[in-house]
Amino acid sequence: MKSSLAHLIPIASLGHSLGISLPGPLIPSIPGVTTPLTQNAPPLPILQVPTPPLDSPPFTASNIKPKKIGYFWTGAGDKQHKDFLATYSLDDDTFGTLLWITDVPTSGNDPHHLGPSIDGKALIGGGLLSLLKTQDTAFYFDTSNPYRPKFLKSNRGILSSIVDEIRAKPEGGFYITYMGSAVGTSPGRLVETDADFNIIHEWPEDVGSVLNILGEQFNPHGLSIDWERRTILTSDFVEPVSILKPSLGIKRANTLRLWDLDSKKILNTITIPDGGGIQDVKHIPGNPEGAALATAVHLGQVWIIYPERRDANGKQGVAELLYDLGPKARDTTAIYSDISQDGRFVYLTLTTANHIAALDISDLNNVKRLDNPDEVQPTIGPHYVKITPDQRHLLVTDYFVQTGEIGLINTPADYKALYIDILDDGSLSFNRTIDFSREFANRGGGRPHSSVVFDLSDPENPLYY
């Protein structure tokens, strides 16, 4: 089979040209993996009819203008009504007041992660299952009026699908992990948009890094960027199509990739042996070595990544076990995390263990657990977690993934947003909730997967996270 880099990476279609080609059959041309789709419908084992969605039922908006706003990227429980962004007050006196609902044009996307732009004028939300209805996978919202978000546009990658983690670029636009290829297999891509949210790159584009992601499972989920040291870390979780029937079993990854931020070349593949899905990675704020924490789902462990240390082969990037979360954390399907801005505390959601763990990592040689692993907490299926910008609360959404009869992952959930107090010692005190099943019963309930918080307490220094 004749193959060239033009077949592998159609950069010209994105407005770029490498001007390099590979001779002979060094890399096979794989439709939907190394080349863009030629037809709209990919050859997936399970496709769903993209029927027109139902509009949101009427709702009562509030005209209050709280200082703290929570945005929840939410799927309609019946998968027939349009998926939507729900905007709520997080102020103490008006907590849980619905401000607005913003529909997107499609349904059944299974809304996934949500992220803000640097200036707080936009949000982007991804669709985990959009591919099954051959729909756009990334949805953009105009939040220039933070109390009345508007749907702006949607788009999709050419080589990749399954939007996961999102990081805003200082100059505008986003870096986004797309966990799967155009047909949900491996490899995925690291996608970059411009300030107008047009996709301009699907990294990697260089020959060496493409060989890297073709040679070993590349399904990036976690994403963290060190803007000062000019490096990127992505963590590989699972091959998306392997969670759908028919399947020989879920393909879980054991690796992270260390990238050079400026060239977007992969510097090294970092392995956590028998990790069984490295779902999340986040840099520790203020760490003198630029270290990051990664979650190994099968092991139920937290690992520390040192991007500047050298491995046995002299390459950048070393992984070491930091903390074992115990038997109840093993194989909990998902372990997602957030770290306080002072780098002192880390919070981890153990989805199928119905538990949120808290660690004091101020001394990395003496990590202290702040929660009781045997405590029965008032949460079912906790997943996405964010520390509020004021560092006083933890916002957790109780929904991960439910593929129904077509898939292998169906985690229990109570579809709530938990607003948990962070005490002075970093421990947690469960407080208030928003019940999306009750709030959106007129569309089969709501499935809130992720959130963004705007804190406008100081108008001169608004915070968006």
Query: In sequence order, what are the residues at sequence separation of 6 or more whose Cβ sits closer than 8 angstroms to the Cβ of residue 103?
Result: 55, 56, 82, 83, 84, 151
C-alpha distances out from residue 56 to 60, 81, 235, 339, Å? 12, 6, 36, 35
pLDDT given for residue 290 in this prediction: 98
pLDDT given for residue 48 in this prediction: 77
Q: Calculate mean pLDDT across residues 72-86.
A: 97
Task: Convert the pLDDT of each residue in 269-311 to its tens digit.
Answer: 999 999 999 999 999 999 999 999 999 999 999 999 999 999 9
Rounded to whole angstroms, the Cα distance separating 82 from 52 reads: 9
Task: Convert the pLDDT of each residue in 178-190 to its tens digit.
Answer: 999 999 999 999 9
Q: Calculate mean pLDDT across residues 18-39.
A: 45
Q: How many CB atoms lie within 10 A of CB 392?
A: 11
Nearest to 352 by CA among 375, 370, 379, 374: 379
Strand partners, 348: 337, 357
Least confident range from 23-32, 210-219, 400-409, 412-421: namely 23-32
C-alpha distances out from residue 399 to 129, 140, 230, 416, Å? 15, 22, 34, 8
Is 4 in contact with 29 (CB distance < 8 Å)? no
DSSP 171: T
Q: Is the pLDDT of residue 41 over 50?
A: no
Q: What angle do CA 174, 177, 179 make, to 5 degrees?
A: 155
Task: Convert the pLDDT of each residue in 125-143 to its tens digit.
Answer: 999 999 999 999 999 999 9
pTM over 0.85: yes
Report the C-alpha dihedral over residues 434, 436, 437, 440, rounded to 10 degrees. 130
Confidence band (pLDDT; 50, 70, 90) for 91? Answer: very high
Nearest to 266 by CA among 329, 218, 321, 334: 218
Q: What angle do CA 185, 191, 197 make, to 5 degrees?
A: 130
pLDDT given for residue 50 in this prediction: 76
Q: Calculate mean pLDDT across residues 9-23.
A: 34
DSSP 24: T
Least confident range from 4-13, 324-333, 416-425: namely 4-13
The strands making up 345-350's β-sheet, listed across from edge to edge, are: 335-339, 345-350, 355-360, 368-369
Q: Is the pLDDT of residue 21 over 50?
A: no
Task: Convert the pLDDT of each residue in 225-246 to its tens digit.
Answer: 999 999 999 999 999 999 999 8
Structural domains of the chain ordered from first start: 31-464 (2.130.10.10)
- On the CB side of 434, how many CA atoms lie within 13 Å of its CA? 28
Distance of CA 259 to the CA centre of its chain: 18
Least confident range from 34-48, 85-99, 192-206: namely 34-48
pLDDT given for residue 47 in this prediction: 73
pLDDT given for residue 433 in this prediction: 98
Rounded to whole angstroms, the Cα distance separating 25 from 23 reads: 7
The two tokens of residue 442 are 């007129």
Confidence band (pLDDT; 50, 70, 90) for 36? Answer: low
Per-chain mean pLDDT for the chain = 91
The two tokens of residue 178 are 């797309």
Q: pLDDT higher for 420 or 36?
A: 420
Q: pLDDT higher for 19 or 155?
A: 155
The two tokens of residue 413 are 């959930």
Is 236 in contact with 253 (CB distance < 8 Å)? yes
pLDDT given for residue 72 in this prediction: 99
Q: How many CB atoms lie within 10 A of CB 366?
A: 8
The two tokens of residue 103 are 């529909």
Q: Is the pLDDT of residue 11 over 90?
A: no
On the question of a cis peptide bond just before residue 58, with omega within 30 degrees of 0, the verdict is no
